Structure 1
Amino acid sequence: MDISKTLLVGLKADHFRHPLDLKATQALKQLPGLDILVRNLVSPIAEQFFYLENIASSVLVSDRQLPHLHKLLQEACRILDLESPQLYIRQHPVPNAYTFAMRGKQPFIVIHTALIELLTPSEIQAVIAHELGHLKCDHSVYLTLANLIALAASQLPMGAVLVQNFQSQILEWVRCAEFTCDRAALLVTQDAKVVASLLMKLSGGSPSLAPQLNLEAFLEQARSYDAISNSQIGEMLKQVRTSEMTHPVPVLRAREIDQWASSRDYQQLLHRGSIQYNSEANPKGGWRNW
């Protein structure tokens, strides 16, 4: 990294949590027993399973293994005021990244090699920061539950019927949580164009096409997507299109992050940071007064 960035000392999840995430989380908290069930029964087993899977089938990033990626992780954690999880790189042809966002012994992030090949270093850091957002906001319980429900719906003949209504509520929460984690990506990169460019490449990028993509045209495309809601039929079609998705459509996410970057809330978060980090001035990770 070659620019100075503000470290968000004392940053709390609710400082940047998206209002839709907050509302959806409060709705799920009204369902008794979910938190205890997932934390105490499901998560410890899943955590150990994924740890063994990652160690066996992926490359663990460190200061001795892919140190440039390790540096991106460490800087992102410093900015978000978060302890560093493990970061794994996995050979996979589908561009993707994910985290097991549980506050346990082995929190981790996994990034597929196809995604690494598609992005610039700044965009890779945006991906890391997005996944750190899940950890920062303790999204673990409902992310785990969403995965279990999806598995039940796909594997059991009656599963889809039994969990359909509950699945819709969980998926709504997951989509809202993604907006929050995009904000975490912006807080780390401190450049809305980096996050929007990442989303654009996830929509229609490839290693050969990525350098040719036009970000301004993509943002105009996002505004066209908004315009569909001007008609009742258009809004209905959008809701049907997204109701079973785990992520909001990329153009909507780009529009959201572009707007939040211009908001007073975002600017105040940057201004309240009391320390600036300059990795070019001190490659070992320098700290100095703002």
Structure 2
Amino acid sequence: MGLEKSLLIGLRADDFRHPLDLQATNTLKQLPGLDVAIRSLLGNVAEQFFYLNNIASSVLVGEKQLPHLHKLLIDACSTLDLEPPQLYVQQNPVPNAYTFAMRGKQPFMVLHTSLIDLLTPEEIQAVIAHELGHLKCEHGVYLTMANIMILAAGLFPNWGTMIAQSLQMRMLEWVRCAEFSCDRAALLAVQDPKVVMSVLMKLAGGSPTLAPQLNLDAFIEQARAYETFSTSEIGEMLKSAQTQQLTHPVPVLRAKEIDRWASSPAYSSLLEKRKTGYNSEAQFKGEWRNW
């Protein structure tokens, strides 16, 4: 990780927020009483469940605990001009990472051990920066509500009235759109689109043994083929049916979006506008500018 990168001083969420994220967020804001309606289902129980489950079964990363991961976090936060949340590592065979922002509590993110085993350090930092994107874009409120709804569906399978199902579909649509913004945050942090696309490729079909054999250029071609399939009406219908119950857009679509944005004048001008050069191998002493 010795490449010269740019500190994006004064970076704002609207500098990189994906248009679909903005549109979906505005749609949710127009739903009256959404926050109250969802929280009234379980009150604070779900929030406490997530928080206690995490601190009871995960390892808190810090300068004295897995310091290499702590450095990746601090480095990404410095680049994105963001105060660092807590970072936990949790034993889990399913590669995943998530962020939770609870009312009145410091936000935290969790990395599964299987994800760490699958990725290179640069790719792990891209995942960390993706999760930081949720905080930078202030996704916390709706992200928490989405987690509560998913938990409620698991605890109470028969709770789904037509209204609840409609809300769940809207929340899932919003989460998928928000992921595009967070992928952009990952790119801004690592400043190499191949790193971000490599993460997506490994999440789609990787394992610790297969990962070194995967071909990123072939995966990008696969992403372009997926986009071409949507040119027909039936293709669009099938893709919509495939994704409407997913919490994330399919990996090939996310890779194509990153490939497109990395080649855009908007991305280049953002780096030029905000950057202050530094070497990521230089010692980072943690002198936060405004905190």
Q: Which amino acid aligns with 2:256?
A: R
In the TM superposition, what whole-angstrom CA distance separates every residue of 1:64-97 from its partner, at most 9, and x where no partner exists?
Answer: 1111100000010011111100000001111000
Answering whether residue 237 of structure 2 is matched by residue 230 of structure 1, we say no
Change (3 A) 1:46 1:136: farther
Deviation at 1:45, TM superposition (A): 5.7
Could you say which residue in structure 2 is the equivalent of 1:61? 61
Contact 1:101/1:134, CA 8 A, preserved across alignment: no
Deviation at 1:4, TM superposition (A): 1.8
Could you say which residue in structure 2 is the equivalent of 1:26? 26
The 3-state SS of whatever aligns with 2:230 is: helix
Could you say which residue in structure 1 is the equivalent of 2:219? 218
Change (3 A) 1:59 1:11: same
Could you say which residue in structure 1 is the equivalent of 2:115? 115
Change (3 A) 1:22 1:223: same
The 3-state SS of whatever aligns with 1:128 is: helix
In the TM superposition, what whole-angstrom CA distance separates every residue of 1:173-202 from its partner, at most 9, and x where no partner exists?
Answer: 110000000000000000000000000000
Could you say which residue in structure 2 is the equivalent of 1:271? 272
- Bigger mean CA deviation after superposition, 38-47 or 198-207: 38-47
Could you say which residue in structure 1 is the equivalent of 2:79? 79
Deviation at 1:109, TM superposition (A): 0.6
Change (3 A) 1:151 1:275: same
Highest RCO, 1 vs 2 (Cα 8 Å, sep ≥ 6): 2
Gaps (5+ residues) in structure 2? none
In the TM superposition, what whole-angstrom CA distance separates every residue of 1:236-259 from its partner, at most 9, and x where no partner exists?
Answer: 111100111110000000000010
Deviation at 1:274, TM superposition (A): 4.0
Could you say which residue in structure 2 is the equivalent of 1:250? 251
Gaps (5+ residues) in structure 1? none
Q: Which amino acid aligns with 2:33?
A: G
Q: Which amino acid aligns with 2:198?
A: S
Deviation at 1:158, TM superposition (A): 4.5
TM-score, with structure 2 as normaliser: 0.91
The 3-state SS of whatever aligns with 2:277 is: strand
Could you say which residue in structure 2 is the equivalent of 1:183? 184
Change (3 A) 1:49 1:158: closer
Change (3 A) 1:128 1:36: same
Contact 2:8/2:271, CA 8 A, preserved across alignment: yes
The 3-state SS of whatever aligns with 2:278 is: strand
Deviation at 1:151, TM superposition (A): 3.3
TM-score, with structure 1 as normaliser: 0.92
The 3-state SS of whatever aligns with 1:62 is: coil
- Bigger mean CA deviation after superposition, 25-34 or 71-80: 25-34
Change (3 A) 1:49 1:276: farther
Deviation at 1:44, TM superposition (A): 6.3
Deviation at 1:147, TM superposition (A): 2.2
Could you say which residue in structure 1 is the equivalent of 2:8? 8
CA distance in 2, matches of 1:40, 1:148: 11
Could you say which residue in structure 1 is the equivalent of 2:133? 133
Deviation at 1:286, TM superposition (A): 9.1
CA distance in 1, matches of 2:22, 2:138: 12
CA distance in 2, matches of 1:232, 1:195: 30
Could you say which residue in structure 2 is the equivalent of 1:90? 90
Number of matched pairs: 287
Could you say which residue in structure 2 is the equivalent of 1:262? 263
